[in-house]
Amino acid sequence: MKAKFTLLSILLIISLSVTRVSAQQESFLTEVNYAYLDKLIATAKKNYPEVKARQAAINAAKATLNQSKVAWLDAFTASYIYSPRNALNLVNPTIFNGYQLSISINLGTFLAKPFATRAARENVNIAMYQQQQYNLNIEAVVKRLYYAYLEAQADLRNRSRAVTDGEIAVKQLKYTFQKGETSFHDYNEALTSLYNQNSFKVVTELNVLTAKANLEEYLGVKLEDIK
């Protein structure tokens, strides 16, 4: 009778294990919500500080470009001289009276301005390319963290089922142990297994919270706030 019960218990455990593995594979794949994932990515791009820093870098580069476009005026220097009509200047005599305007040009500065403008334009391109690269990077990061969160949830469900199965097995073994149909060794092993499953469940619960926190770090908001 004892051997028969042990064999049945082993078969039951194997059956439950196969069922849990199948449930994990199916639930994990079917729970990937790509529309919701797109919302997560959009939220991360909107709120994550590094994304804002990339956009600020583009704005700064564009401002520098606009500044360089008008900076060519720096090469020109304008000045004027006023000679009163009725004054006699014996030191620097002039033949012109009134206001005299003069414009000078710094040739080196003037020739360097096109290169400065080109460099400023390239800096804008660099900033835009860096933003595009980071957008791709943050999309990949959010996807990985979202999948890790789903995986942790699926693992927690499996651990919860294992605890429930363990509790059922302990109750059955306790009943048969009290009737003398199960040895104390088998009953004690079931209790130990249940204790281990509970410990695994606690660790898995922590994994879920950690995965959620990692994802929310990039989102800037709670997952519950994203519908």
Domain range for residue 58?
Answer: 2-73+107-225
| Structural domain count of the chain | 1
Residue that wins the pLDDT comparison between 114 and 109: 114
In a domain, 121, yes or no: yes
In a domain, 154, yes or no: yes
* Per-residue pLDDT at 209 exceeds 90: yes
In a domain, 214, yes or no: yes
In a domain, 40, yes or no: yes
In a domain, 101, yes or no: no
What mean pLDDT, rounded, does the chain reach? 76
In a domain, 83, yes or no: no
| Whole-angstrom distance, CA of residue 29 vs CA of residue 114 | 56
pLDDT tens for each residue of 138-180: 999 999 999 999 999 989 988 888 888 888 888 887 777 777 7
Above pLDDT 70, what percent of the chain?
69
Look up the CATH number of the domain holding residue 39: 1.20.1600.10
In a domain, 93, yes or no: no
In a domain, 96, yes or no: no
